[in-house]
């Protein structure tokens, strides 16, 4: 039997860290769906499009080749034959991704790709609408969240480790702006799925959060 675990939640809640660690423990693949929206956003930016405009973005989907490949269990995202896994992490691409993800045709364009992977693989898939729309039948649905302050602090620490100086107030404002866009958009807004388990990681370590995910998995197997 194929097992799918869906993890949704706001930016910076630690979805990728938790999903990556838990998937290694379980021998599942980890699918980061944000990378797909980022790739569509990156491509639109490169073409000089206004990423908020459906009229400008939708034509860029024509013939667009976005794919995920898994190398030693690690996800890489490709735009045609170009590995854009690093390029999509730039700050301006985050906002572009949030913008293009509000366009229904962009979401439709990426649905089948996500569902095909989940159909064929035991996976933990993270995003904003995985439990609600992409994989409503996932055996385990988790809504991972944390306070805006805790999320901004984590991002600040990550950047600091990389030697990048950031401003905590700006980081908090950026996160809140993305939260607002992701939760208020008309299509597939960020929200806990029906039956989702809510996991607030504000005061939990990565180990404690992963342990909770694994405990739910065991519970699910035993049920």
Query: Tokens representing 170?
Result: 């700006």
Whichever of 128 and 213 has its CB closer to ligand DC, that residue is 128
Task: Name the minimum Å distance from CB 92 to ligand DC.
Answer: 12
Closest CA relative to residue 141, chosen from 204, 192, 183: 192
Contact 51, 100 (CB under 8 A): yes
- Closest approach, Cβ 218 to ligand DC, in A, equals 26
Give the contacts of 14 (CB within 8 A, at least 6 positions apart).
144, 146, 151, 154, 201, 206, 209
Give whichever of 101 and 172 is closer to ligand DC, judged by the CB atom: 101
Comparing CB distances to ligand DC, the nearer of 77 and 210 is 77
Least Å from the CB of residue 33 to ligand DC: 4
The residue written with tokens 């159909």 in the block is 119
Which residues lie near ligand DC (CB under 6 A)?
11, 33-34, 37-38, 94, 97-98, 101, 127-130, 178, 182
Instruction: Choose between 135 and 210: whose C-beta lies nearer to ligand DC.
Output: 135
Nearer to ligand DC among residue 11 and residue 213 (C-beta):
11
To ligand DC, the closest distance from the beta carbon of 202 in angstroms equals 18
Judge contact between 21 and 206, C-beta under 8 A: yes
User: 51 exposed, middle or buried (CB, 10 Å; 0-12, 13-18, 19+)?
Assistant: buried
Contact between residue 127 and residue 69 where contact means Cβ atoms under 8 Å apart: no
In angstroms, what is the minimal distance from the CB of 34 to ligand DC? 2
Comparing CA positions, the residue from 152, 148, 145, 158 lying closest to residue 198 is 145
* Comparison of 85 and 212: residue with beta carbon closer to ligand DC: 85
Closest C-alpha to 97, from 170, 35, 10: 35
- Minimum CB–partner distance for residue 190 and ligand DC (Å): 7
Q: What is the DSSP letter of 193?
A: P
């Amino acid at each position: 039997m194929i097992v799918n675990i869906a993890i949704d939640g706001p930016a910076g809640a630690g979805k990728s860290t938790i999903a990556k660690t838990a998937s290694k423990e379980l021998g599942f693949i980890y699918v980061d769906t944000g990378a797909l929206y980022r790739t569509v956003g990156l491509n639109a930016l490169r073409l000089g499009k206004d990423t908020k405009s459906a009229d400008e973005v939708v034509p860029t989907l024509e013939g667009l080749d976005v794919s995920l490949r898994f190398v030693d269990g690690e996800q890489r995202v490709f735009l045609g034959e170009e590995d854009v896994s690093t390029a999509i992490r730039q700050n301006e691409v985050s906002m572009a991704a949030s913008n293009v993800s509000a366009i229904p045709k962009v979401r439709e364009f990426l649905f089948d790709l996500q569902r095909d992977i989940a159909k064929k693989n035991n996976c933990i898939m993270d995003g904003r609408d995985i439990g609600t729309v992409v994989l409503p039948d996932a055996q385990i649905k988790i809504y991972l969240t944390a306070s805006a302050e805790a999320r901004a602090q984590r991002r600040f620490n990550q950047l600091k480790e990389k030697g990048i100086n950031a401003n905590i107030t700006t980081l908090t404002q950026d996160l809140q702006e993305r939260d607002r866009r992701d939760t208020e958009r008309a299509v597939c807004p960020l929200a806990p799925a029906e039956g989702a388990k809510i996991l607030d990681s504000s005061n939990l370590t990565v180990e404690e959060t992963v342990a909770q995910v694994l405990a739910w998995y065991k519970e699910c197997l035993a049920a």
